[in-house]
Amino acid sequence: MPLSENVQDADNMTEETAVGPLPEIHCGDAYELLDEVEDKSVQTVLIDPPYNINKAEWDTIPDYIEWLTKIVKKLETKLRDNGSFFVFHNDMEQVAELMVSIKANTKLVFRQMIVWNKRFEGSSKKGFLDGYVVKTDMHNWNKMAEYILFYTFDNSHKLLEARKKLKVAQMTISQEIKSKTGGLTGWYSNLETGRNLPTRETIVPIKKHLGLDYEDIVPKFNNLKTHHSVWNYDMAKRSNIHVTPKPVDLLENIILHTTDKDDLVLDCFGGTGSTGRACINTKRRCILIEKDETYCEHMRETLLTVEG
């Protein structure tokens, strides 16, 4: 059975689990277990892979970019056409190499680099981090941020494919929405070339002539009108078993912006289960994959009970 078919059904939740469906936890190699995830079933992929900066034993990986690209390519097949892909990192040279590799080897389209700022007014850690700013013997600016790469798919090709298949002239669609003076504009051609995305208004004639819905073309994004590309979030408290957990509220922000209730989120570097906790809190379904049995057991103990 594909992993995504085995996630607890939110409609069958008991009153005790009404906080949200419990995640499905699988222990093993991510690359191998991803074969069991149903293709095009995941709304958001959210991964925090090893950064290959020798932070721990698991953080030293030979042929790192090749290794991570192989996993990204497999994750690509699991995403829905209107899905989103996020990957955390903090080493800019490796980020640059990874971005080039993703562009060369996948159909994922880069949308934004989000900067997670850890030192900001109101942060519980600001006083502590200020100490690094005033150190006398500094020879560079201290790194107090991490980066999140945000990707989606470009589905504009579906417009041209459907139009050719149905033998609809571009002009036929274009003339459905005219300028204020009654003239023709390039609104539709800009959609077909990927320069713009359909709106709820422009999808109406597209659906009429081509049968395509908004969700067929436009990546899901719930504009909560709260964030731009620099995010201020406190660092998560260090776990007794993991040195780099991610803050649950930051993960919730990603999930709330790119999924709806009961959508499926996938994290194949589950760690201590922060993504799972964020999904429970936001009532999203979740698949967690983790190679380390110690982390897997921790997730089972903390996530698979309501009290966790």
Which tens digits make up the pLDDT trace of 253-304? Answer: 999 999 999 999 999 999 999 999 999 999 999 999 999 999 999 999 999 9
What pLDDT band is residue 20 in, cutting at 50, 70 and 90?
confident
Locate 231 and state its tokens: 């995010």
Mean pLDDT, the chain, as a whole number? 92
Please tell me the distance from the alpha carbon of residue 173 to that of residue 142, in angstroms, as a whole number: 54
pLDDT at position 19 over 80: no
| Coil, strand or helix at 205 | helix
Q: What's the predicted TM-score (pTM) here?
A: 0.91
Q: pLDDT per residue over 213-255, tens digit each?
A: 999 999 999 999 999 999 999 999 877 787 788 999 999 999 9
59-70 as b/e, with b when 16 or more CB fall inside 10 Å? eeeeebbeebbe
Average pLDDT rounded to a whole number, residues 13-28? 73
Mean of the pLDDT values across residues 182-194?
95
pLDDT of residue 209: 98
- Which amino acid is present at 104? A
Please report the pLDDT score of residue 16 as a whole number. Answer: 40
CATH classification of 3-154+221-303 is 3.30.420.40, yes or no?
no
pLDDT recorded at residue 306: 55
Q: What is the pLDDT of residue 138?
A: 84
Q: How many CB atoms lie within 10 A of CB 192?
A: 19
- What percent of the chain is predicted at pLDDT more than 90? 84
Give the start-to-end residue ranges of the domains of the chain: 3-154+221-303, 158-215
